[in-house]
Amino acid sequence: MLRSLFGKGKKKGASSPTSQDDNIRAAKVGDVVSISGLRLEYDDVYFFVEKINRYSSETETWYEALCVDGDNQVWIDWTGGYDLTVTATDDPDPVGLGSIGTTEEELIQLDEEHSIDNFIEIEGDKYYYRNSAEVTFYQDSRGQGEGFYNWDLVHEDGEHVLSVSKWEGKPFEATFSEVISPDRIVLYKGDRGDAGKGRK
């Protein structure tokens, strides 16, 4: 879904890792990443990749990694297609529709009209509709997966993303993330182990 957003359809370590690997697409649980440009205080921090989950819709696949250093946590999402798009957030806790000033009816209208001219306005900022679709979530990139419906919108500055999800039996949830240039993330091979349990 991330690829469709942009025209095609997220405590200082004791020592620095030494073996640089590929970009974020090569990440495995147990690897280490550094990320710059998200928060100044994270620029010299090395995060361990603790969990990797997979998402898929009818047209694309993307991944999310939980990256941890002490009490610091960053979620990084990236696309699985030809073009690499990366978003990151250190505040994954969702908010309700009331907090973003929209309603279920407005989301349904966005979905039905499927127009990138439509937007949601939040405190004077416009988030333009990019896509909405049924998505399957695979915790730890395994198993049969669990479905939900998702809307993706992009801030008018092109640097921030709003995602709204609806899981069966749960209220709508909205989360915000920032677009990160892939070259701002450096991946190092670590002690690759088994995945933990992903977020939902």
| pLDDT tens profile 135-159 | 999 999 999 999 999 999 999 999 9
Residue 28, amino acid: K
Half-sphere exposure of 194 (CA within 13 A, CB side): 3
pLDDT above 60: residue 21: no
User: 55: which strand partners?
Assistant: 62, 137
pLDDT above 60: residue 19: no
pLDDT at 46: 96
User: 20-34, 43-57, 92-106, 137-151 — which is least confidently predicted?
Assistant: 20-34
Find tokens 């205080």 and name the residue.
41
Q: Which residue has the higher pLDDT, 40 or 161?
A: 161
Residue 142, amino acid: R
Average pLDDT, the chain: 88
pLDDT above 50: residue 30: yes
Residue 72, amino acid: N
User: Residue 2 — pLDDT band, cuts 50, 70, 90?
Assistant: low
Q: What does the pLDDT average to over 106-128?
A: 97
pLDDT above 70: residue 18: no
Say how far apart CA 129 and CA 111 lie, in whole Å.
Answer: 9
Say how far apart CA 171 and CA 139 lie, in whole Å.
Answer: 20
Confidence (pTM): 0.84
pLDDT above 70: residue 173: yes
pLDDT above 50: residue 9: no
Percent of the chain with pLDDT over 90: 77
User: Residue 22 — pLDDT band, cuts 50, 70, 90?
Assistant: low
pLDDT at 124: 95
Q: What does the pLDDT average to over 26-55?
A: 95
Q: What token pair was written down for 32?
A: 């280490």
pLDDT above 90: residue 196: no
